[in-house]
Every structure is written in structure tokens, then in C-alpha cells.
Amino acid sequence: MSALEKYKKRRTQYNLWGKKQQKRINNISILRFAIFVLGLIILMRTYTLRRYYLFALVGLGTIILFCYLAYLHKIIENRKKYTDALYEINETSIKRFNGDWKHFEDTGEDFIDENHNYSYDLDIFGKGSLFQWINVAYTYIGRQKLKEIFTEKPQNEQSIYDRQSAVKELEQKIYFRQRLEAEGKIICSNKQNPKELFSWIKERNNYILKKQVIWFLRIFSMVTTITTLTVVVRIMDYVLAALFDINRSAPKIFYLIPYYIPILLIMIQSIVLRIKKQDRMKNLIIAEKYNDNIKTYRNMLRHIEKHKFKSEYIVNLCEKLYDNEGRSASKQIDAFSKICEVIANRRNTLYPILNPILMIEYHWTISIERWKIKSENEFEKWINTIGELEALCSIAVIKYDNPYWCMPRIVTGPSMITAKNMGHPLLGEKRVCNNLKVEASHPVMLITGSNMSGKSTFMRTVGINIALAYAGAPVCAEQFYCTIMDLYSCMRVSDNLGQSISSFYAEILKIKNIVKASKDEKQVLFLLDEVFKGTNSRDRHTGAMVLVKQLSKAGNLGFISTHDLKLGEMENHKNSKIKNYHFSEYYRENEIHFDYKLKIGVSPTRNAMYLMKLAGIEIDESN
């Protein structure tokens, strides 16, 4: 079964489940209303007949049944949230498969960095980007991990192969991937940066954990609670006696404590609550702020812990989810989540009344601090594990949707790239594939060709496939071999008015970084599109020649596109490291066409005049 067929089948399945769950929810709502009305009628009838025992029994039964149905209603609603999320995920997967992914909401625009070595030129982030195409990470850390994978150089070949093995395993685990995505998707506020949460968990309020402080708070709040309850019972006894004209019936023990005792105790506790209140409020505010995030982390960890993996890379990741005593991360975060849930519900009318009596703030703070001591050193590891798996699942989507793309082989030695039928991964059915072989003997490929013939697209094709290869992802090719190199590009430059930088100077700064990297004896892969296009033709030609010679001598690997056909003569120089390639166009029925196929040699054609004529510019070719 193809990926598209699988997505359609799952979409139909979840759509059907969703409808059934909605029907159950509606039926339960109707049943709750019916039970409420019927119970009210029976209660009224039994009361008028003075069947007080039956009245109490029916009332209790109605409350229990109503609460049970409310509980059942909530469970089915939660299940439906997951069903709806999984339906949307498969709907999105179908759109991605069919090429309709440029409307996806998360484009990764927050990661755009015009000064990065290559990500801006290669459309790694932003509208119509690689990130927008494949991202299925919903947590802040997951998105960050995916960004790092595509923008940081891999440590070595083994790190790439380890990630490849993880991607191959996750490719087949479609349920695991989609359920992990659904866990993140159903919580809307999970993209908050957890840096504040990580820092807060490492902070300490040591005074609150002193034994004498804890015993004082427990005993004092317990005494206040008991004395307050005795007074409350006494007041209720007075009220009932007055209403029903009967003698007071509360035991005498409730009349032993004077009214002023609980009042005095509550006043003392109110003063105690002011001590270091700011520290406690910070605890409560952060716990409330990240309550939804912590729920998400807990649910994602539960899902991860249920699965067994074979890939050594993922196994090592999941080992971080258990401490030395064998306690799982999900159980530890579940305890924290329950504390945060209670704190998040403090904004009700009872809290201001109960807090001076029970000193709830202190007891919550004690619970938080105790949890911090147990889990502070592990929490960030757990969240990073979630993020890493989200990023790997995003890459696995590429492999699942494109099973015929190859996993690249990473080789050692001099810089090289060899590819068979390599195409641009974001172009879908529009892509045209080319073979490529660039080795140490001729490491610089000079690409000429007319306007719109495909020079820039070809270089972006090379760059984005290299980025995929280094990420441990499949590449859009039948075969792909490369070495690990520092990737640099200078393709998309523009004026920066804020910094008073012209496009030409911005290009110079990018090229400066490439030259510096090559002098540092790094293995550099460079992509230069229309080098020095911001200056006159003589300076451009001279500058380009010097630059090409310098970069080719350093043992780098590179691609340079140009309209300057004279640069092609450098191939014939003694000990030249340059090889000429070109893209060309052809004409049919007075229309221009491009085949986007890479050919050997300098371009024999030009189309600028033809395009000017199409624009309505009258050109006298006799002059």
C-alpha cells in the first residue's frame, strides 16, 4: 500500500470514529438532561409523599449517575480530540503528498537568518521552505531540534548514519509518529520557550523545606482548620435551630472553643502568608503558565515509553527517560502535572477564603520544591528527548512519502559529490533530474547558460540535498555520495537599508566568509550565483577570475554560475581545476523552452534579446 493510500485509509477511519464519538457525546448529553429532569420529578413526588428515605436514596442515586455520565462525557470528548487531531494529520499528509503544502501554517519564518552560511539561500526556512514541507514538530524544543539538524554541520559520518537508522525505523512506525504529533497538536500553547521553565526548576527555596518550617505549617494550619470547623458547625446549628424552631443538636464539644480563637489564628496565618510571598507567587505563576506544556510533555512521554525501538540511536535517547531507580519520566512529570493542575485552578471564589485557613500556598510550594529536588537534573533531558524524536519523525515523513529516494553514503577523503538522477525535493512533479560528479581533479564547476535556464535552481538542488544528507534524511536522487564539508552559499543578496549595506557589499561579506573558511584549511563546499553581479562587467570578470582561482587552489568543492562566458576559458589554463557545464534553451513555434538538463561545456546560446522583445522592447540588431 502506497503512502497516499495509507493516509486516505486512515483519514476515512478517523472520520468514521469521530462521527461515532460525536453521536455518543450527543446521546450522553441527552441522557444527562433526561436523568436530571426525571430525578427532579421523582424527588418532588417523594417529598410531597413524605417518603424521606426514598427521597434521600433517589437524590443520592441521581447525583451519582449524573456525575458518572459527566465523567464518561469528558472521557469520550478527550478521545474525540485525539481522533480529530489524527484526522487532520492525515488530511495534512495527503496535502503534503499531493504537493499542496505551501499553505501549511508553520513556515519556520522565525528561524530565517540572512547571515547564515546557507539556510537563507537554500530556502530551508520560510514560505515554500523545506521546514514548511516536512515539519511535524509542535513543541518549542522539537522545532528547535529540527532547525539545528538542518543548520549545523554533523560531527562525523557515524552521527549521520545513526540518524539514518533512526529515520528508517520511524518511517514504518506511522501510528507512533502520528500519535506523537497529535499529542503536541491538541495543546495550543505548547510553543512557549521552556527556557524560563528549565531555569525555574533549578532554582531553590531552601527555607520552605526545613523540617521545623514544614511541621509548623502543618500543625498550625491543622489547628486553624479544626477550630474553624467547630465554629462553622456551631453557626450552622444556630441557623437550623432558628429556621426549624428546634433545640440545638450539635454535640457540646463544638461549643468549647470561643469564636475569637479561629479568628485570631486566621489573622496570624494571614501574616505568615505575607512572608516571602513574592517567591511563592513566582512558583504559582510559572506553574500555572506552563501547565498546558507540562500536560503535553507528560502525554508525549507516556506515548514514547509504550514503544520499543531497535535503532541504537533511539534506544540511547529513550534510556534518558528512566532514572537510576527505574522510575519513568512520564510518572515523575505526572506528579508535577497534578500539582500544576491544582495551582492552575486556584482562580475561583473559594481560594481566597480557604488560603488563610489552610495556608494552601505554602503546601503547594513544598510539593513543588520536593519535586524539583527529585527531578531537576533530568527534566531538561526528558524534554530534549521529546524534541529529538519530533525532529526525527519530521525527517521520517520524507522517507515514508518518498520510498524511492536514496539514503546517501558519506565517504572520507578529498571533497566530492556524486549523484544519479538528482532533483530538487521541493519541486514535486515539476522537477528535472540531473547526474552529477564533482571530484578533486576538477572540484569547481563553472555553470553558464541563458536567463531562466536553471542554473540557480540546480545549485539550490545540490545545496538542499547536501543539507538533507547531513541531516540523516533521504535525498532526492537514485544514488548519492558525498564527503562532509562546510557548506557556504552566496546566491540571494539584497540591500540592507537599516545597516546601510548595499547588495554588492552584502555579497562581498558573504564571499569573505567563504574565503576565510577556505584559508582555515576546512573542506568547503561553496555555491556562488552570478558572482559580483553588483559591479561593472570589467571588475566583475577580473574579480571572478581571481576568486575562482583562489577557491580552486584551496582544495575546495564549488559551483559558480555566471553569464560571463569568458570565464569558461579558465578551463583551458594550465593545471586548471575548473570544468565547464551549461544549461540551454530551444525555440519552437516562436516560443522559448527549457529542458533544464545539465550539459558539458560553455553555453552556446543566449536569450536576453529574445526576452526583451517579449517585453515589448524594440531592438535594432543591425546596430
Q: Which residues contact 257 (CB under 8 A, 6 or more apart)?
A: 227, 230, 231
Q: Let me know how long the chain is.
A: 623
> What is the model's pLDDT at position 310?
92
* Helix, strand or coil, per DSSP, at residue 108: coil
Distance CA 214, CA 319 (A): 35
Do 492 and 123 meet the contact criterion of CB atoms below 8 Å apart? no
Query: With contact defined as beta carbons under 8 Å apart, do 107 and 147 qualify?
Result: no
Q: Tell me the CATH class for 409-614.
A: alpha beta
- What pLDDT is recorded for position 536? 58
Please check whether residue 292 is in contact with residue 187, taking contact to mean a CB–CB distance below 8 angstroms. yes
H or E element in which residue 487 lies? strand 486-490
Is residue 498 within 8 Å of 186, Cβ to Cβ?
A: no
Predicted pLDDT of residue 86:
95
Half-sphere CA count of 193, side-chain side, radius 13 A: 5
Please report the pLDDT score of residue 502 as a whole number: 61
SS3 of residue 238 by DSSP: helix
Local structure of residue 100 (DSSP, 8 states): -
Secondary structure tally for the chain: helices H, strands E: 19, 12
User: What kind and span of H or E run contains 146?
Assistant: helix 140-151
Report, as ranges of residue numbers, the positions in the chain whose pLDDT lies below 50. Answer: 495, 497-500
Helix orientation angle between 174-185 and 291-305, rounded to the nearest 10 degrees: 170
Give me the pLDDT at residue 498, please.
Answer: 47
Q: Are 356 and 269 in contact (CB under 8 A)?
A: yes
Q: Which residue has the cell 413526588?
A: 45
Domain boundaries in the chain?
3-97, 195-306+322-382, 409-614
Q: Are strands 524-529 and 557-562 parallel, antiparallel or unpaired?
A: parallel
In the 3-class helix/strand/coil scheme, how is 444-461 assigned residue by residue? EEEEEECCCCCHHHHHHH
Give 129-143 as a 3 state SS string: CHHHHHCCCCCHHHH
Look at residues 266, 319, 593, 555 and name the one whose alpha carbon lies nearest to residue 438: 555
Asked whether 530 and 563 are in contact (CB, 8 A), the reply is yes
Q: What span, in angstroms and rounded, lies between the C-alpha atoms of 84 and 145? A: 27
pLDDT of residue 248: 54
Rg (CA), the chain: 35
Residue 259 pLDDT:
78
Beta-sheet pairing, 434-438 with 417-422: antiparallel
Per the structure block, which three cell numbers stand in for 311? 535503532
